[in-house]
């Protein structure tokens, strides 16, 4: 795993400052502490920080083709590189390393922009072709690896693996994008391609961007999408057999490493499946790492130990105290822009633990999205059956009025929260799902934002992110549609962002076998009853794992990787959250209605309401603002 950075002159061939490029690269030293490399020529600068995983001796970057006219800086892994080498050699290409990176330059020469369609893995790279005067950027299909870019005030094009790379350039436009703020308070992150800054963007997953000197910057080009056809007539027994084959292949490819390798083991279905398969493929014991919590309501360590004992792994565990909130300000610096998933705290800790023992760890991320594991999927489908029974024109006024009038019951299980159900029934499927996953829902965001900030939004609603993706989903199936939305939004903006930054902060490479794109494509073709059957999510996955995992692991209620926010904000963080949210940083931003923030704090701390997730989201935004890396354009407020 590595970090990349660079500059490109869109018009001429200026010489870029070596000091500037070095600073841009060094701010992500944590992504690659083993080596650093640079390439400078008129109009181009490339930089790379290396975490050595494969071909330790000769895999340095930037890496070139035979005549040094093509150079690449690359973050990630091409898992099928060994099968591409002989194909490229047959076309006349000469390899001088055993690195997966070298496959990229020769694949570019052989297949041009279509080279990315041949790669299986997680990647973000920038390739410079001197003969074509072309800079080519690419990001993997599911957005496992990040890639940021922007045009600086001096007209140069900058890119990097983290937003802090662009922040190291004095020409970045650091004005806050109000639309990104709206997305953040709805979703907990600024959704691709937006960032918190007006001057920076993220390359969308499954997209490439081709820049040619002297030409305008084009729109990025998609090279992949997943299609939920649901038309595979396979039987359950055959599906179980094929899933086992595909899972073994995906994990086998991700176990290629020249450095110590292991896995996260939470005690949930996904990570346990990965560890069981690794054990089957390994000649020796697997290294496993898990985090336990001193609060039993959040502790899964006994289930992780069940799996570790069954497979005789080298198991490492540490207990995180339930008041482990000292990371709050560190997280703000780590993520560079507002990020509101509080499970970033235990994720940071498990990466910290893993790095003491391994350099590469396999994770179970991505399983819920493709296998149908989230409880919210089953609730959405239940509500959708009710929506289908009545036209929207009747539902919206009837259930909208009931949702407005019915009292809110945060304390009750969701199925008994009639207000939430009524609100969902008053909406179409996409809007209802957006409503169900929003941290601050529409009515609360409207109260939290100041009148001047709402004018700046100009009517923009983060729902448009979901509308845009739903328009590309090519399915009307209710489950397939929300799985597609999660693959495009939550998986990328939340899960992959969390794991990338937390792991790279510790120079740890995390690989994701359940996000293998051929596996994702195959699962998207399966009928829904192999994903959710009755009230059982991940039906096929669990059936395939019955011979290798205990029933207590497979069929217990999903716990998640959470922290006790509600208790924190009524107890040990009571004064801190009030001081932060009612302080000058939030008041001076002009974004918030301060009376609403005070009411939320009072209601939560008195026990009248549970505003734990919104308060955390506000607190992380305050921490970002206080970091001083942004400016709010008050001319528009």
**Active-site residue numbers?**
2
What are 609's two structure tokens?
């309401």
What are 204's two structure tokens?
């969308």
Q: Work out whether the CA dihedral 307, 313, 318, 320 comes out positive or negative.
A: negative
Half-sphere exposure of 488 (CA within 13 A, CB side): 23
Distance, CA of 5 to CA of 45 (rounded, Å): 8
Please report the DSSP string for 232-266 in residue order.
Answer: ----HHHHHHHHHHHHHHHHHHHT--SS-EEEE--
Please report the DSSP string for 195-241 in residue order.
Answer: -SBTT-EEPPTTEEEEEETTSPPPPPEE-------------HHHHHH
Exposure class string for 322-340: b at 16+ Cβ within 10 A, else e: bebbebbeebbebbbbbbb
Dmax over CA atoms of the chain, in Å, equals: 73
- Three-state SS at 127: strand
* Contact predicate 163/194, CB 8 Å: no
* Contact predicate 433/401, CB 8 Å: no
Strand partners, 208: 138, 221
Q: Tell me: cis bond preceding 62? Omega within 30 of 0 counts.
A: yes
Distance, CA of 225 to CA of 316 (rounded, Å): 38
Distance, CA of 135 to CA of 120 (rounded, Å): 22
Give the single-character DSSP code of 31.
Answer: G
CA 149 to chain centre: 17
Distance, CA of 448 to CA of 592 (rounded, Å): 6
- Element (H or E) spanning 93, and its range? none
Strand partners, 78: 121
* Contact predicate 492/202, CB 8 Å: no
């Amino acid at each position: 795993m590595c970090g990349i950075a660079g500059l490109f002159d869109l018009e001429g061939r200026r010489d870029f400052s070596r000091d500037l490029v070095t600073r841009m690269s060094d701010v992500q030293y944590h992504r690659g502490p083993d080596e650093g490399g640079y390439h400078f020529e008129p109009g181009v600068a490339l930089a790379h920080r290396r975490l050595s995983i494969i071909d330790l001796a000769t895999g340095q970057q930037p890496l070139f083709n035979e005549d040094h006219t093509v150079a690449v800086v690359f973050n990630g892994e091409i898992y099928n590189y060994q099968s591409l080498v002989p194909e490229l050699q047959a076309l006349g290409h000469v390899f001088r390393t055993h690195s997966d990176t070298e496959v990229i330059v020769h694949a570019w020469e052989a297949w041009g922009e279509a080279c990315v369609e041949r790669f299986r893995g997680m990647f973000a790279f920038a390739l410079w072709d001197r003969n074509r005067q072309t800079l080519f950027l690419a990001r993997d299909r599911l957005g496992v690896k990040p890639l940021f870019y922007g045009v600086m005030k001096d007209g140069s094009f900058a890119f990097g693996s983290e937003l802090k790379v662009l922040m190291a350039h004095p020409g970045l436009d650091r004005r806050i994008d109000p639309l990104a703020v709206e997305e953040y308070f709805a979703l907990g992150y600024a959704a691709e391609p937006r960032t918190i800054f007006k001057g920076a963007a993220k390359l969308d997953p499954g997209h490439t961007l081709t820049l040619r000197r002297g030409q305008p910057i084009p729109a990025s080009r998609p090279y992949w999408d997943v299609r939920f056809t649901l038309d595979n007539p396979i039987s359950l027994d055959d599906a179980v057999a094929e899933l086992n084959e595909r899972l073994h292949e995906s994990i086998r490819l991700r176990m290629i490493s020249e450095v110590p390798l292991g896995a996260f083991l939470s005690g949930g279905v996904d990570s346990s499946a990965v560890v069981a398969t690794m054990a089957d493929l390994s000649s020796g014991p697997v290294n496993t790492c898990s985090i336990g919590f001193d609060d039993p309501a959040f502790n899964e360590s006994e289930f992780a130990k069940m799996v570790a004992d069954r497979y005789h792994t080298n198991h490492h565990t540490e207990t995180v105290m339930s008041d482990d909130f000292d990371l709050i300000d560190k997280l703000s610096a780590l993520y560079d822009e507002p990020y509101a998933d509080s499970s970033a705290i235990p994720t940071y800790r498990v990466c910290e633990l893993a790095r003491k023992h391994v350099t590469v760890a396999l994770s179970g991320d991505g399983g819920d999205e493709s296998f149908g594991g989230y409880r919210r999927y089953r609730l959405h489908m239940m509500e959708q059956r009710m929506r289908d029974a009545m036209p929207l024109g009747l539902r919206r006024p009837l259930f909208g009025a009931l949702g407005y009038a019915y009292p809110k019951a945060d304390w009750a299980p969701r199925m008994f929260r009639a207000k939430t159900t009524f609100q969902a029934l008053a909406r179409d499927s996409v809007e209802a799902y957006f409503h169900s996953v929003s941290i601050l829902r529409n009515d609360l965001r409207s109260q939290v934002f100041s009148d001047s900030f709402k004018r700046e939004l100009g009517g923009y609603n983060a729902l448009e992110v979901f509308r845009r993706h739903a328009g590309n989903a090519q399915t009307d199936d209710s489950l397939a549609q929300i799985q597609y939305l999660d693959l495009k939004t939550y998986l990328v903006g939340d899960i992959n962002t969390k794991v990338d930054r937390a792991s790279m902060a510790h120079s740890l490479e995390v690989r994701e076998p359940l996000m293998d794109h051929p596996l994702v494509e195959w699962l998207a073709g399966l009928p829904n009853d192999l994903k959710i059957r009755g009230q059982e999510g991940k039906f096929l996955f669990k059936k395939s794992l019955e011979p290798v995992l205990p029933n207590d692991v497979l069929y217990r209620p999903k716990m998640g990787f959470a922290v006790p926010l509600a208790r924190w904000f009524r107890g040990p963080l009571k004064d801190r959250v009030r001081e932060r949210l009612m302080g000058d940083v939030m008041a001076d931003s002009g974004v918030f209605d301060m009376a609403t923030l005070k009411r939320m704090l009072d209601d939560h701390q008195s026990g009248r309401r549970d505003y734990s997730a919104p308060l955390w989201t506000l607190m992380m935004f305050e921490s970002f603002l206080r970091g001083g890396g942004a400016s709010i354009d008050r001319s528009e407020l």
